Amino acid sequence: MPLLRPVHLPGHLIPQTITIIGLGLYITIFRHPPFFASTGKQFLVPATTSSRTRDTLSLLGILTVSVQLPYYYSSYMPMEENQWLYTTVPVRLGISAMMGLTLLAHGRAGMSEEGFWEFVGLTVLDGIGATLLGFSLGRFDGMVPGYKRWVK
């Protein structure tokens, strides 16, 4: 049973992953902003949408969960053997760079106010998260520490 396995993840990754999985499930099921975003500001999900946009939001939620869930499914093994954990460092740094380039390419004038600040927030948070994970693992190249013994 996957839920009864030990979780070998850096401490800062556990609340982040739980939060993102929860948000992804919420968006998948309810297809509107989370309850804490009902303060008049929209967060990640538009408040009023067409049925087609709601379908796309469900896909976004499913994709979000599918990207975060492997952290837990691979966390039963020791961190120094967890290839998923090591691989996500350069991948997340690359995604943060793509979001930053999107911000530079479109600028504030080319994006909605909410979308701009969501991009800024997600770029910074994921960049910081990937950097913390890289430092806690001791490397940023995406390879587990013992990879040289398999490479000839």
The amino acid at 72:
Y
- Digits of tens for pLDDT over the chain (152 positions)? 556 778 888 888 888 888 888 888 988 888 776 655 445 566 666 666 688 888 888 888 898 899 889 888 888 888 888 999 999 999 999 999 999 999 999 988 988 887 888 888 889 988 999 999 999 999 999 999 877 765 55
Q: Which residue is listed with tokens 């902003």?
A: 33
Residue with tokens 């992953």: 17
Burial degree of 86 (CB within 10 A; 0-12, 13-18, 19+): buried
**Pick from 24, 102, 22, 57: nearest CA to 47:** 57
Q: Phi then psi for 140, rounded to 5 degrees?
A: -125, 5
